[in-house]
Amino acid sequence: MAESRWISDLHWRREGRQTRSERTQSALLDAAETLILEKGTEATSIADIAARAGYSVGAVYHHFRDKTALFHALFHRMTDAYEALNTRASDPALWEGASIRDLFRGYLEITLQAASETGAAKAAVSAVIADEPELAAHYAEIQADTRKKLLGLVMGRRGEIGHPDPDHAAAFAIDQLAAMLRGRIDPAQRAASLQAIDDAAFIEDALRMTAAFLRLTPAD
């Protein structure tokens, strides 16, 4: 999928330059991430993580109090990166001169790009938060903040919306796109109709539907 000019410099980022201790922590979290996908959270032990990462069990406990603390660190590593991406992607300066169509295209492209780059991380974190209501609630808050920031950018261009209730219509459209993206990305929710097309076709279909609902002014 070719990226639009609006997001050409936006990519999911993890750690940059790291200290030796940070590299060790990253290796342990990477190992935990892989093992959770292979075995699940319950079956993944500290000993398994240490062996997969190539460190001693003592090294794991040097960095993490217990398995729960390690799993929480895995969650925060992903959500910190997600929030950083969201902050960069919602900067109004990035979208100077962009239309509402451009905003929605960017939202779809960024979300699908992040999913392709972090599929394993998101799947592992989903497993971690399955029994952690507080973490699940925090993750939901981050996702809601993403939609809120997008709505703010869209309503800054409300003159492009022909729907008689632009505020409601824009919020509704964003919620529907978010639901479609979940259905596209999450294997557990993926609808058959969303499996047969590639990302580029999915984006174009979603944009046509959204433009029609919002009654957007014709594109130049």
pLDDT of residue 3: 55
Q: Are residues 179 and 205 in the same domain?
A: yes
When the pLDDT of each residue in the chain is averaged and rounded to a whole number, the result is 87
What is the per-residue pLDDT across 41-55, written as a single tens digit (0 to 9) for each?
999 999 999 999 999
Q: How many CB atoms sit inside 10 A of residue 17's CB?
A: 6
Contact 120, 60 (CB under 8 A): no
Residue 9 lies in a domain: no
Contact 198, 111 (CB under 8 A): no
What is the per-residue pLDDT across 11-61, written as a single tens digit (0 to 9) for each?
555 555 678 888 899 999 999 999 998 998 999 999 999 999 999 999 999
Q: Are residues 122 and 40 in the same domain?
A: no
Domain that holds residue 119: 74-214
pLDDT bracket for residue 186 (50, 70, 90): confident
Q: Are residues 42 and 86 in the same domain?
A: no
Residue 51 lies in a domain: yes
Residue 92 lies in a domain: yes
Q: Are residues 150 and 203 in the same domain?
A: yes
Which element (helix H / strand E) includes 34?
helix 20-39
Q: Out of 71-75, 122-126, 152-156, which region has the weakest mean confidence (pLDDT)?
A: 122-126
Residue 10 lies in a domain: no
Number of domains the chain contains: 2
Write the DSSP string, 51-108: HHHT--HHHHHHH-SSHHHHHHHHHHHHHHHHHHHHHHHT-GGGGTT--HHHHHHHHH
Residue 12 lies in a domain: no
Give the up-direction half-sphere exposure of residue 11: CA atoms within 13 A in the CB hemisphere.
7
Q: Are residues 90 and 190 in the same domain?
A: yes
Contact 45, 67 (CB under 8 A): yes
Q: What one-letter code names the amino acid at 204? A: E
Q: Are residues 26 and 121 in the same domain?
A: no
pLDDT of residue 191: 60
d(CA 178, CA 163): 20
pLDDT of residue 216: 96
pLDDT of residue 205: 94
pLDDT at 168 over 60: yes
Q: Are residues 57 and 134 in the same domain?
A: no
